[in-house]
Structure 1
Amino acid sequence: MMISSNVLLLLATVLGIVSGRRNVVLSLDNPLRAGDEIVIEGHGYAGSKGVIRLYDSESTCYGRKGAVNPLVLKLLCRMRLIEILRKNELTNCIDRAHVRRSLPQIGAGRHYKITIEVQQDGYHIKSREHGRSHSIYRTTGDVGSVGMIRAYSGDYSDISVKRFVPLPREECGVRSVPQVRTRIAGGTDALPGEFPWQAAIRKYQVFDWDPVPHLCGGALIRDCWILTAAHCTEQMRQRIDDFYVRLGDYDNNDASSTTYGEDEQDLAIDKVFPHEDYQSGNNPPNDISLIKLKKVDGVCAAISENVMPACLPDPGLDNFTASAQCEISGWGARRHGDAATRYPNILQKGKVKLKSARECRDIYGQNRHGRYLVQDGMVCAAGAADTCQGDSGGPLVCQRDRTDSQSPFVIWGLTSWGEGCGQKLKPGVYTRVLSYVSWIDSVISTNGD
């Protein structure tokens, strides 16, 4: 009896016979650095445990001498699990931080895709299925000096490294007015030009039942690009011509830019790019979107003292941690529940301090499915001031070096969600921009600068 090649191929898949490579070694010219991403693709192989190691080839125990091993992954395809291990030479290479996570995608014969994002303080491991990424685990600690990636005892179709190549830097994060120490809900009036990256997303048409043109905040990051929350752009995607972006504003109720020496620039919207993994809801993950502005005579925003991009975080440089003091701004409500007609006309500002991820997760707890409401890609901040309705999508900025008055401001967060406004034990939750720098650069470079 003859068996067709198609049947043999099917049997090979079901039995877990290798269709790719069992052993792959990737030697890097330069060690991995923050912003890089490792992409691993393969098929679940029932007969063995797939292993992926990241290590420094010049040391023992596959890790930098005297330091925690960067990372070891084990794919337990038969049980549809993934294990994350780390080793330490000082403890005779004993496994450390042994973590096990469910990963249905790696079942025998199934195609899987795993990504490992290199961050300044660890690795973020994700899986991807049906066009959506799913967070598996985020490690913390020394990432070591990884120059080798080895995969073995599996069925690997492709392993690659996407190097983070930042867009060319432009002048950013500089403001011409002096920093004034003051303490949005609980905020105070900003000074004209104090937040030159502040954007307002507005509606062209207003009605008796909807009389306020202001919709959301945003932040200028390049002359043709605005960063905002994805939940702010949901209704814009089908009616993009109904909205525009205003830059250089201070009093958003005046018809003239001369009253406060403003530099109001109203710019039409070309395209909107919400994050592909954004999910709407009360505490939405991946709540980030890019707005591309239309050029007029080859120009979008005209940079001036009142219109200046905020700096994007540098994965190799910026790592603002708990208790870092940052600033928020916007034209949103001063108190929770205020109608839009009571929003302040003058741009408001406030100072807040970042919270640790653990503290924020403990505060907001879990949903009925046992998942923390504060997820990866989010950051919390609290202080005497807080963001509120109408501030959504607006910037949370931190000064790179607070001992230097000329040091630039980095956009660290985008107003996303929270419970109430200004509640003492409920910090505001922001999209953590550092987690999306590679995505931002990819969208801008692919769709023109």
Structure 2
Amino acid sequence: MKLCLVLLVFYAKLMSCQTFSNISDHGVQRLRAGFFDFLFGEQTTVQACKCKCGIPNRRQRLLGGTDLKPYEFPWLSQIMVEDSPPIEATLINDRYVITAASTVYGYSPYKLKVVLGVYDNCYADVTSETFSVSNIIIHPEFQYITRTNDIALLRLSTVVPFQKRISPVCLPTPKMNYEHKVATIASWYEGVTSDGYETSTCQPRKIDLPIAEHESCTKATQESQGCVGVVGSSSILCRDDAGSGVLYSSPGGYYELIGILSDYQSCAASSLHTNPKEEDLNLPIYTKVNSYLDWILFHTKGACYCNKI
């Protein structure tokens, strides 16, 4: 009995000295409950590590410009599938990447590999690291036709060693409304547009787009879906951009993963050559990560999360 009381006092002091700014309030409660899980032999939910999330690799230039460089977003990930273009994903901790469920639906873990620290797809990159996948966790309420609950987690077989070119993005601020803010989307692309034009990039490209009101998302069928872009203009995002992270650059200088692009959208590259089609005027849909924080934390037990600045 005395031993238990000593442990409880020690744990209370330990918890009072740590902050867990990268998880929801409910997640913090789970972390605190993890001590009792330990006492009763159950697995601790998540861990907070001595590292920072969402930090880009870039240098500021005069007049507020940015000097883009390799590995600017060190959380960018690619899921490799045999005889298929890479699938976009995002590193969120030391064991999991997150992507759209529609991109990995029907695959077995042993058929997938996750590459981190990659930059140029056109040349052999000896600095990248490849990880096997031990488990694919698709949201149980995912609907392939409507792309509702289009979110999935891939557990890597080994722990990811964080370094400058490989580090996780931050999870979003709980209950934060990101409408009317500016989102950043970065990805590689390789494919064919709806009118037959081939397009590809060797290196990842990024673009800033406004986050639209939910009422403007004509293809959204639930509140957990959002959209980006300018209403009435052609979308420049394509189905092969699915799984890419929708990022928000916070005033604190770190990036949060606020969404995951769904593949339920048309590529409007055709509008560069012809008049845009009606389907190209629909704003691209993304899955709001904020709506799934509890689900993410529950399924990433034992993972190590970095803190925001």
TM-score of the superposition, structure 2-length normalised? 0.71
**Contact 2:57 / 2:73 at 8 angstroms: preserved in 1?**
no
Aligned in 2, Cα 1:338/1:249: closer, same or farther, shift over 3 Å? farther
The Cα of 1:448 is off from its aligned counterpart by 5.4
Superposition deviation, residue 166 in structure 1: 7.5
Which letter maps to 1:292? R
Report whether the alignment pairs 1:171 with 2:40: no
SS at match of 1:270: strand
- Structure 1: distance between partners of 2:195 and 2:59: 31
Give the deviation of 1:326 after TM superposition: 1.2
Cross-structure match for 1:143:
none
- Report the identity percentage: 23
1:190/1:347 contact within 8 Å kept: no
Partner of 1:392: 242
1:179/1:279 Cα in 2 relative to 1: closer, same or farther (>3 Å)?
Answer: farther
**1:415 aligned to 2:293?**
no
2:110 equivalent in structure 1? 241
Change in 2 beyond 3 A, CA 1:433/1:341: same
Give yes or no for the alignment of 1:288 onto 2:134. Answer: no
1:226 aligns to 2:94 (yes or no): no
Equivalent residues in 2 for 1:325-404 (5 A)?
A: 325-333=182-190, 336-337=193-194, 342-360=199-217, 363-364=218-219, 373-382=220-229, 386-401=236-251
Question: Does the 8 A contact of 1:387 with 1:415 survive in 2?
Answer: no
Deviation at 1:347, TM superposition (A): 1.0
Unaligned runs of 5+ in 2: 1-23, 28-44, 269-275, 305-309
Cα distance change on mapping 1:385 and 1:307 into 2, 3 Å: farther
Query: CA–CA distance in 2 between the matches of 1:385 and 1:351?
Result: 12
For the residue of structure 2 that corresponds to 1:290, the secondary structure is strand
Q: CA deviation at 1:397?
A: 0.3
How far, CA to CA, are the matches of 2:260 and 2:150 in structure 1?
A: 8
Instruction: State the Cα distance separating 1:333 from its structure 2 match.
Output: 4.3
**In 2: Cα distance, 1:179 partner to 1:231 partner:** 37
Asked if the contact 1:279/1:286 (under 8 Å) is kept, the reply is yes
- Greater relative contact order (CA < 8 Å, ≥ 6 in sequence): 2
RMSD: 3.1
The 2-side partners of 1:243 and 1:198 are apart by 16
Q: Is the 8 A contact 1:229 1:287 kept in 2?
A: yes
The residue that corresponds to 1:312 in the other structure is 171
- The structure having more radius of gyration, on CA atoms, is 1
The secondary structure found in structure 1 opposite 2:267 is coil
Say whether the 8 Å CA contact 1:327–1:351 is kept in structure 2.
yes
TM-score (norm 1): 0.50
Could you tell me how far apart the structure 1 residues matched to 2:263 and 2:214 are? Answer: 15
Q: Structure 1 segments of 4 or more deviating over 6 A? A: 179-182, 338-341
Structure with greater strand share of residues: 1
- Is the partner of 2:291 in helix, strand or coil? helix
Q: CA 1:386–1:304 in structure 2 vs 1: closer, same or farther (change >3 Å)?
A: farther
Q: Hey, what's the Cα distance between the residues in 2 that align with 1:437 and 1:344?
A: 32
Q: Which amino acid aligns with 2:249?
A: Q
Higher helix share: 2
State the distance in 2 between where 1:256 and 1:418 align. Answer: 31
How many residues are paired up? 248
1:215 Cα offset (Å): 3.1
Q: Distance in 2 between matches of 1:388 and 1:306?
A: 26
